[in-house]
């Protein structure tokens, strides 16, 4: 095995003598990266195609349209002066009136809705959306988001190149401050959902992009407190089998048109200056045809945070040489001309980078008549339209996960309820999470519950008890009891206990927000912050008819609560309609069917060190051997489902073929419900440690009482779950043997088992 620490550190400190500075930068970047990862020069079949855009993909802009846009961009660039070209490689670019180039703003944000001040629609946060396991829902949500992006652009201008939506860094550790922005811990689930988001954002027109999506952050970015200086030391197997898989899907399957680098180092080399990843992997191996942008000021951190080169002139040169085409900050605009004069970059380097960026702008229709671009017909009326508001409700409902429901404690019959106490620091607020638009519709849990009981608008509430009476005579009490992070205040808890003791039922809404963890700030523990545990215990003692709703951005170690409370509902920042969805679940108007896209651990003691990027060291459901609080893929329902009649066809599986796995799922309970059927495999024995199990397929189905449906999964020979990265051969290999097939309702609840033979 090659050492995970590269030689870049030593090279950069060496006496370079008479070597030309540009050659020094080039040698340093290539040598350090290849030693770290190996195989960077190898090309996949996708990279060797004539052009991966077009008929091969079966959707989106055609190869002809892409090539036409590239030629037009090169023609336009040839008419620009050097300073004009450089000025187009920053966040805010000036107009070039004589050439018809308008000012442009890079980038817009659309992680789970357009990040603008309303009217815009805010859907559940990315991690909550991943809990839906619903590709069709992703198509509809991100079609709505891209519609609103186009509508906003038509009304206000700005830009159509998004710094999102897919954050495809893996949720390997719940302490990471940006876990809420991810699509979970599994590379297959993440890659699948990200591809659907990208396709819906970029559209299905053969000549134009609807918007340009950006997959971020490339690569191995999972810490916040030290993200400007951290070095992610990654072993080759974890790198190829885990951290890169979703990005590969975004490029090869999603045909994403932008990739963003990270702030951190990867095995000793800043990712924004890593030629092996930005050129060797993205372009040579995967056939990426878009442009690479740095994260905001990431080029500056090559000097300031990592001390990799002594000044920003060399930082922009080494970044561009590595394959970073665009600076999401002012660095390229300020220092590229000097780098050119010092011969650290060439004019052709600048032209190549700008061509990649301008090709995307041409594909967005910026330089064509609006009549020729079909997406210009989208009206501003779509911004938080009634249809999008209804979709936000549906997305919120599908994202909710029922974690516990002892003795059918839920749902509650709303006709029998006389009084309800709504308690907890998250009850009166509608938290949307990071990178959220300011929607003009924000329904808090309290508001949703009051409306469900027949009441009207309510305020956010204070630390004291607030009594509300609905028109039908029901009484509602609201008492926060504590703040999210604050210490115990006995008077506040006493007021909440008093409210709980007087009510028939208690809805306790607790969790965390951006004060606890966010971009730039990791959390040290995974328990509920502040005095919330104390509040929960006091409320349950006062009234055992209590349901806990977790309105949170990430997982929480609610061990005592799981052992004692009768019901727990997970509503990870579920968007502008979260209160409506929560109320519908509690009162039985909707049967929850979401499943966790990440493992919920019982304690940080179950986790490897935070900065350990090796997936094999007991991380995620694939390698974790302990007992989690809630396993990956877990979620309950108000009904039950039966699994039967497993069939496997196509064994033995040979290169170029696929096996078909099918099973019958039946609603054996009393109410309509959704089931998320999950297909896992256990790979054949091999010389290395393989995952305990790996997800290879999933589907969300709706079943009436007594109804049965046949589900089917195809497992192809080239499926990455069947392969492992051979560190001696520096390639993926699939050893022959018996593959076990596991069909279940979660990673820990397998209902059907079978097997097939795998041949080389």
Which tokens hold the place of 675? Answer: 């089931």
- Strand duo 401-405 + 567-570: pairing: antiparallel
User: What pLDDT score does 39 carry?
Assistant: 44
Question: How much is the mean pLDDT over the chain?
Answer: 92
Q: Which residues of the chain have pLDDT under 50?
A: 1-19, 24, 27, 31-32, 34-36, 39-58, 460-463
User: What pLDDT score does 456 carry?
Assistant: 78
Which tokens hold the place of 92? Answer: 């805010």
Q: State yes or no: is 284 an active-site residue.
A: no
Which residues does 214 contact at the CB level (< 8 Å), separation at least 6?
A: 107, 161, 162, 163, 164, 256, 257, 258, 259, 260, 293
Which residues does 716 contact at the CB level (< 8 Å), separation at least 6?
A: 657, 658
Proportion of the chain in helix, strand, coil states, percent, rounded to 5:
35, 20, 45
Name 101's bridge partners.
Answer: 96
Fold assignment, 18-380? TIM Barrel (3.20.20)
CATH top class, domain 395-623: alpha beta
Token pair 């992703």 in the structure block, residue: 138
Give the H/E segment covering residue 356. helix 347-363
pTM across the whole model: 0.94
Contact 637, 591 (CB under 8 A): yes
Contact 165, 107 (CB under 8 A): no
Nearest Cα residue to 139 out of 718, 677, 700, 573: 700
Which tokens hold the place of 215? Answer: 């997959």
Laid out side by side, the sheet with 658-667 consists of 641-649, 658-667, 708-716
Q: E strands, 82-203, where? A: 92-93, 104-105
CA distances from 354 to 158, 252, 325 (A): 19, 22, 7
- Choosing from 235, 284, 295, 612, which is the catalytic residue? 295
Name 117's bridge partners.
Answer: 438
User: What pLDDT score does 685 carry?
Assistant: 87
Laid out side by side, the sheet with 546-550 consists of 401-405, 567-570, 546-550, 505-510, 419-423, 475-479, 466-469
What's the rounded Cα separation, in Å, for the pair 111 and 91?
18
Contact 36, 613 (CB under 8 A): no
Contact 417, 551 (CB under 8 A): no
Laid out side by side, the sheet with 265-266 consists of 231-232, 265-266, 269-270
Fold assignment, 641-758? Immunoglobulin-like (2.60.40)
What's the rounded Cα separation, in Å, for the pair 144 and 24?
48
User: What pLDDT score does 47 carry?
Assistant: 35
> Domain residue spans in the chain?
18-380, 395-623, 641-758
């Amino acid at each position: 095995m090659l050492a995970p620490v590269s030689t870049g550190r030593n090279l950069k400190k060496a006496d370079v003598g008479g070597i030309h500075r540009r050659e020094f930068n080039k040698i340093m970047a290539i040598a350090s990266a290849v030693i770290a990862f190996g195989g960077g020069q190898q090309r996949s079949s996708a990279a060797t195609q004539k052009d991966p855009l077009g008929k091969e993909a079966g959707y989106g802009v055609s190869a002809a349209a892409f090539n036409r846009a590239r030629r037009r961009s090169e023609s336009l660039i040839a008419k620009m002066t050097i300073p004009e070209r450089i000025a187009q490689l920053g966040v805010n670019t000036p107009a070039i009136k004589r050439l018809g180039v308008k000012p442009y703003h890079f980038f817009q944000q659309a992680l789970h809705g357009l990040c603008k001040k309303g009217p815009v629609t805010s859907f559940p946060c990315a991690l909550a959306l991943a809990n839906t396991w619903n590709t069709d829902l992703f198509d509809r949500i991100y079609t709505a988001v891209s519609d609103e992006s186009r509508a906003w652009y038509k009304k206000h201008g700005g830009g159509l190149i998004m710094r999102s939506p897919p954050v495809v860094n893996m949720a390997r550790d719940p302490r990471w401050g940006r876990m809420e922005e991810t699509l979970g811990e599994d590379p297959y689930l993440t890659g699948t959902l990200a591809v659907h988001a990208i396709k819906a954002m970029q559209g299905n027109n053969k000549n134009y992009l609807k918007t340009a999506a950006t997959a971020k952050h490339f690569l191995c970015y999972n810490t916040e407190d030290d993200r400007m200086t951290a070095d992610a030391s990654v072993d080759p197997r974890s790198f190829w089998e885990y951290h890169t898989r979703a990005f590969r899907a975004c490029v090869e399957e999603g045909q994403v048109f932008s990739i963003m680098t990270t702030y951190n180092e990867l095995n000793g080399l800043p990712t924004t200056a890593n030629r092996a990843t930005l050129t060797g992997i993205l372009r040579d191996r995967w056939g990426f045809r878009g442009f690479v942008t740095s994260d905001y000021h990431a080029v500056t951190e090559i000097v300031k945070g990592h001390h990799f080169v002594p000044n920003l002139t060399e930082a922009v040169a080494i970044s561009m040489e590595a394959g970073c085409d665009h600076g999401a900050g002012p660095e390229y605009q300020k220092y590229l001309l000097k780098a050119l004069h010092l011969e650290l970059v060439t004019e052709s380097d600048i032209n190549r980078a700008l061509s990649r960026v301008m090709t995307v702008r041409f594909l967005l229709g910026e330089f064509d008549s609006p009549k020729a671009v079909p997406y210009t017909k989208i009206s501003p009326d779509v911004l938080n339209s009634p249809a999008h508001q209804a979709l936000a409700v549906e997305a919120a409902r599908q994202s909710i996960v029922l974690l516990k429901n002892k003795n059918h404690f839920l749902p509650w019959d709303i006709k029998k309820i006389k009084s309800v106490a709504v308690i907890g620091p998250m009850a009166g607020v509608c938290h949307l999470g990071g990178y959220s638009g300011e929607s003009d519709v924000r329904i808090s849990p309290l508001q949703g519950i009051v409306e469900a009981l027949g009441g009207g608008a309510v305020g956010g509430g204070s630390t004291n008890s607030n009594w509300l009476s609905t028109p039908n005579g029901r009484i509602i009490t609201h008492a926060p009891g504590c703040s999210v992070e604050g210490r115990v205040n006995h008077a506040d808890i006493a007021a909440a206990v008093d409210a709980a003791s007087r009510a028939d039922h208690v809805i306790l809404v607790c969790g965390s927000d951006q004060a606890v963890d966010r971009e730039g700030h990791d959390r040290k523990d995974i328990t509920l912050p502040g005095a919330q545990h104390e509040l929960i215990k006091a409320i349950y003692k006062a009234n055992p008819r209590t349901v806990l709703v977790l309105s949170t951005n990430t997982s929480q170690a609610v061990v005592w609560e799981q052992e004692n409370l009768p019901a727990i509902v997970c509503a990870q920042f579920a968007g502008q309609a979260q209160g409506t969805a929560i109320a519908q679940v509690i009162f039985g108007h909707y049967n929850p069917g979401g499943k966790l896209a990440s493992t919920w651990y019982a304690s940080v003691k179950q986790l490897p060190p935070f900065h350990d990027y090796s997936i094999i060291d007991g991380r995620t459901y694939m390698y974790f051997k302990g007992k989690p609080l809630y396993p990956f893929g877990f979620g309950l329902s108000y009904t039950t489902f039966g699994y039967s009649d497993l069939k496997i066809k196509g064994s033995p599986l040979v290169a170029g073929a696929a096996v078909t796995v099918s099973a019958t799922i039946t609603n054996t309970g009393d109410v309509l419900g959704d089931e998320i059927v999950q297909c896992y495999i256990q790979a054949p024995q091999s010389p290395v440690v393989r995952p305990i199990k790996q997800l290879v397929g999933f589907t969300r189905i709706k079943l009436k009482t007594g109804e049965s449906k046949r589900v089917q999964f195809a497992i192809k020979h080239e499926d990455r779950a069947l392969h492992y990265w051979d560190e001696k051969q520096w390639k993926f290999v699939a050893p022959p043997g018996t593959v076990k097939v596991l069909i279940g309702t979660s990673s820990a609840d397998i209902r059907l088992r079978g097997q097939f033979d795998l041949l080389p």
